[in-house]
A and B are shown apart, each in its own frame.
Chain A
Amino acid sequence: MSEKSQQQAITQELFEHLVELASLELSEEEAGYLRRELNNQLKAIDELDAIQLDVGTRVTTHGVPYTKQISPDARDDDWQACPNPEDILAQAPEIRDRYVVVPDIPHTDLE
């Protein structure tokens, strides 16, 4: 294991921060498993450190190059009515007067 991977292993504190960012809550058992697996995966990821990257190696965000030839033209920005808005509203866990109901939104009152 490289020193770096040991230094950067996900600590309990960092893990809790990630859980907060991810909007999750975890049982102790689940948290133990997830933190262990994350650190194991990071060890696998650290293999990438050994690769010599030439200066100017570009990044690839999609494997297949988007050439003009195969990229579709942007379609017109036309307004189109949704054919079944009721079906979409029907998916919401709680609806009142066609509004989606949620609990209090954390906020600060302005003075």
Chain B
Amino acid sequence: MELTDLPAHTIAYLVRRREISAMNVLEAALNRISKVDGRPGSLDSNGRLPEDEQKVHAFITLTEEKARSQAEEVDRKIAQGEDPGPLAGVPFTVKDIFCVQDTPSTAGSRILGNFIAPYTATPVSRMEAAGGLMLGKVNLDEFTFGSSNESSAFQPTPRNPWNLKRAPGGSSGGSAAAVAAGEGVLSLGTDTSGSIRQPAACCGVVGMKPTYGRVSRYGLIAFGSSLDCPGPFAANVTDAALMLNSIAGPDVHDGTAANLAVPDYTQDLKKDIRGMRIGLSPDYFHITYIDPETGEMDQQPVPSEIEAAVLSTAGYLAQMGADIVEDIAMPHTRYGVPVYFVISRVEAASNLHRYDGVKYGHRTADNVADLRELYRKSRAEGFGTQPKLRILMGMYVSAAQYSEQYYNRALSVRTLIRKDFDQVFDPKGSHRLDALLTPTTPTTAFPLGDVYGDSVLMQYADQLTVTANHAGIPGISLPAGFAEDGLPIGVQLLGPDFSEARLLQIGRAFEMASEGEEWRKKRPAILSGA
């Protein structure tokens, strides 16, 4: 047990009371990283070494010096009676998709392998201003394109701290793994189709995708601009609320950041949830996917252990006074992935066209005849397979002759997905739900190497999370026990626009109700002796 195994809110409290110093906490975090993380991901990894299989590999870049000066500053403020901020002395990591000034900001891609950001993303600067200590940048799928982190150009990629042979999920896999292994107490991730919630579920931590626009995207290297949401990873709900307090809010640098006051998300955490209406939908208890060989649609229920975890969560919430409403129809859930295959690709192709080897990033060293060849060669060398796949699909489905059939149709089905939620959350409707409770993922963390390469199957890992991105609504994944294979199971709460406070309140109620459960005492195997 080290200081970084304490909740963020406890660390901040102790630091502010001068019972521990920010520097003490930082040393504990660095100590934990040196014990469990192994070598960081890099472009020149020289293949896989046997010892890589024993470590987490959450990091790409450790910013120890920066964290030290931040810790000194927090300790100085406290010594001089100044307010060090609500995250005083809390070590955090940042998914390497956010720009942080004077720090390599790579998106897990060779094409940005040498890019040093000239400015800092708003959510990062807000965490720093709140007294947090930035430990460094953590690994991810290349440009966030994946659900396992295996596509990162920076190898070795993160492993699941609960079972090092398993993927941590993705794309914010480094974030989830770092929090699960107590390397950083909080992490800033992004969620475009489930990239916060899915790895949070796989690694047994809390991960929240806020409402689109709740957290500024300024400084976030863009993927799907109508879908991307920065959000918190934490070991518990209270810490996620504390972190959201820091990062949420309007931003003059992002015209899509909602102009809406930020409530204190920790305020209602202890309030009871009596009378809240929480729905269960059969449409979230199976996944529908295509067999690419036969072209036939196949439907499979989620594993019984995952279903049982959701029902057990519902049971706890009912004990706390919530009304559980069953049989909520969400008929367009199954279309979330095919719609995403279109919309996200169009947005990705558009966002990735800027990488051309001219103004920044990778430029081919080959002799080239002209500018077009420079573009082609730089992009061919700089992008991995997954970005190329998304760019090509985006080009195809948005081409003039196909866009009506594909892109406009997908945007129309997106309307239907949104309507499903509008209807069940409508305060004057027949269901009047406060939240929908679902599994976060259709499986627990899958073995590394099992799915990677099959881009269709990999995408279906997001079937239960991607609907919230299409609809823009907030969602949170909460740890809810373990499967027989020893891997964590996550459950998801989805709510109407800007209902983060309520989702956190329900999440906290579940934590309190299940506090005595044996599974809550479990720690990842890699921490035994750490």
Contacts and interface: CB of A to CB of B under 8 A. Distances in A.
Real binding pair: yes
A30 B385 contact: yes
A63 to B, nearest CB: 2
Interface string A51-74: 101000111111110100111111
B389 A38 contact: yes
Interface in B343-371: 349, 353, 356-361, 363, 368-371
B203 interface: no
B284 interface: no
Contacts of A66: 256
Contacts of A88: 118, 360
Contacts of A72: 250, 252, 255, 257-259
A104 interface: yes
A37 B457 CA distance: 11
B145 interface: no
Nearest to A94: B363
Interface string A1-17: 11001000010001100
B410 interface: yes
Given A22-B391, A45-B342, A48-B338, A37 B415 contact: no
Contacts of B226: 61-63
Contact of B349 (A5, A22, A26, A59): A22
A53 B212 contact: no
B335 interface: yes
A42 B349 CA distance: 16
A13 to B, nearest CB: 13
Which residue, of A37, A75, A92, has the highest number of chain B Cβ atoms within 10 A? A37
A105 interface: yes
A48 B415 contact: no
Contact of B370 (A41, A46, A47, A104): A104
A23 B356 contact: yes
Interface stretch (B163-171, B373-381, B478-486): B373-381
Given A43-B295, A62-B226, A106-B370, A38 B359 contact: no
A104 B369 contact: yes
B380 A57 contact: no
B25 interface: no
Contacts of A58: 412, 415
Given A10-B396, A22-B349, A51-B416, A103 B379 contact: no
Contacts, number: 192
A93 B213 CA distance: 34
Nearest to B384: A30
Contact of B380 (A10, A21, A25, A48): A25
Interface residues of B, number: 80
Nearest to A64: B472
B406 interface: yes
B466 to A, nearest CB: 11
B252 A40 contact: no
A71 B313 CA distance: 36
A108 interface: no
B392 interface: yes
B338 A63 contact: no
B380 A26 contact: yes
B472 A91 contact: no
Contacts of B358: 92-93, 100, 102
Contact of B409 (A53, A87, A90, A104): A53
A46 B295 CA distance: 10
A102 B338 contact: no
A30 B358 CA distance: 24
Contacts of B256: 62, 66
A87 B469 CA distance: 35
B302 interface: no
B497 A34 contact: no
B243 interface: no
Contact of B339 (A22, A34, A48, A69): A48
A105 B471 CA distance: 43
Contact of B118 (A1, A21, A51, A84): A84
A23 B375 contact: yes
Contacts of A5: 295
B353 to A, nearest CB: 8
Contacts of B286: none
Contacts of B459: 41, 44
B363 A45 contact: no
A30 B388 CA distance: 10
Contact of A60 (B255, B371, B392, B414): B414
A70 B374 contact: no
Nearest to B257: A72
A110 interface: no
Nearest to B260: A70
A8 B503 CA distance: 44
A5 B255 CA distance: 39
Contacts of B360: 88, 91-93
B329 interface: no
A104 B371 contact: yes
Contacts of B290: 43-44, 47
Given A43-B295, A62-B212, A106-B372, 12 more contacts: A15-B392, A22-B392, A23-B376, A34-B388, A47-B290, A49-B409, A53-B413, A59-B414, A93-B363, A103-B368, A103-B373, A103-B374
10 contacts: A22-B388, A25-B379, A26-B380, A34-B385, A38-B396, A47-B297, A48-B338, A53-B409, A92-B358, A105-B370
